[in-house]
């Protein structure tokens, strides 16, 4: 189980509408929403990996400490949610280094995991895993092996594999394969938009047919139907962001009850042992 810790105004789809300079003017809701998630996880005995923005950790250090104190895995989501496709190699290196230092200072725990904003590892930035290795990371969950208008590498391996000359474990977000095509079943907007039964069928299929664990993700803002509405959005962006927010927390609770969820380092301990030995 994974959570991408960012506030509602920081999502990549809002980049054309909200400047980073104006973030300070928006009502922060990530702390209260993350605390609700922590309570939910405690209720169902779930341990998760929290991919957290450095910007968020700097502003809400007590929240980050609560994540760690409750036994969850803290990982990096970069500094301020810039897609890797918009960064040079040097800029990416600086971004993940700044986030890592901030998260480690706030939490007093080593940060070894990373997830790219909007799964923005593509064929055009195939140097990204090498940079993660240079900055001391051990694992990444930054590839979506699907075809999408904003991200994705459709032909990428669907499950855990080694990158950067054996130094980084890549853990793509989970898909199920049907009629020679990959379909997402690892959370996010897809989980909100489709009936719960569809996700349960797909997760069961991955567990049984592929004999693999599912990597699931969602955001704190997805359980917050009362979040302030951003004006001026196009129809596609508005639909993707706001659809079914009111039912999301209940669906997450069903998911937590139906399956056993643990952190990335726990579930993939054998794979990570092989990485860190190289």
pLDDT digits (tens, 9 = 90+) for 226-244: 999 999 999 999 999 999 9
| Per-residue pLDDT at 147 exceeds 80 | no
| Per-residue pLDDT at 278 exceeds 80 | no
pLDDT-derived band at 276 (thresholds 50, 70, 90) equals low
> Considering the chain, what is the average pLDDT of its residues?
95
What mean pLDDT do residues 141-152 have?
79
What mean pLDDT do residues 140-159 have?
84
Residues 6+ apart with CB under 8 A from 235: none
pLDDT at 189: 87
| Per-residue pLDDT at 213 exceeds 60 | yes
Q: What is the tally of structural domains in the chain? A: 1
- Domain limits for position 232: 2-277
| Per-residue pLDDT at 148 exceeds 70 | no
> What are φ and ψ of residue 74, in 5° steps?
-100, 130
Give 169-182 pLDDT, tens digit per residue.
Answer: 999 999 999 988 99
What mean pLDDT do residues 1-17 have?
97
Residues in the chain, overall count: 278
CATH of the domain at 251: 3.20.20.370
Give 182-204 pLDDT, tens digit per residue.
Answer: 999 999 888 999 999 999 999 99
| Per-residue pLDDT at 119 exceeds 80 | yes
Please give the model's pTM, rounded to 2 decimal places: 0.96
């Amino acid at each position: 189980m994974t959570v991408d810790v960012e506030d509602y105004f920081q999502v990549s789809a809002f980049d054309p509408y909200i400047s980073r300079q104006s973030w300070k003017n928006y009502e922060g809701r990530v702390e209260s929403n993350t605390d609700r998630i922590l309570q939910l996880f405690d209720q169902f005995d779930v341990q998760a990996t929290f991919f957290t923005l450095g910007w968020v950790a700097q502003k809400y250090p007590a929240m980050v400490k609560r994540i760690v104190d409750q036994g969850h895995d803290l990982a990096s989501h970069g500094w301020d949610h810039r897609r890797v496709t918009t960064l040079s190699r040097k800029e990416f290196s600086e971004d993940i280094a700044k986030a890592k230092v901030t998260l480690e200072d706030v939490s007093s725990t080593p940060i070894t995991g990373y997830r790219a904003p909007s799964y923005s590892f593509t064929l055009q930035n195939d140097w990204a895993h090498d940079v993660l290795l240079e900055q001391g990371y051990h694992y990444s969950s930054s590839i979506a092996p699907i075809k999408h208008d904003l991200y994705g590498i459709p032909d990428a391996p669907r499950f855990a594999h080694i990158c950067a000359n054996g130094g980084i474990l890549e853990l793509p977000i989970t898909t199920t394969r049907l009629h020679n095509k990959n379909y997402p079943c690892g959370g996010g907007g897809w989980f909100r938009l489709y009936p719960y039964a569809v996700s349960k069928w797909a997760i069961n299929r991955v567990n049984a047919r592929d004999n693999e664990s599912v990597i699931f993700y969602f955001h704190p803002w997805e359980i917050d139907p009362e979040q302030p509405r951003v004006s001026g959005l196009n129809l596609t962006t508005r639909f993707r962001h706001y659809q079914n927010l009111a039912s999301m927390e209940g669906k997450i609770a069903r998911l937590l009850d139906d399956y056993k969820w643990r952190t990335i380092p726990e579930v993939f301990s054998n794979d990570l042992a092989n990485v860190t030995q190289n």
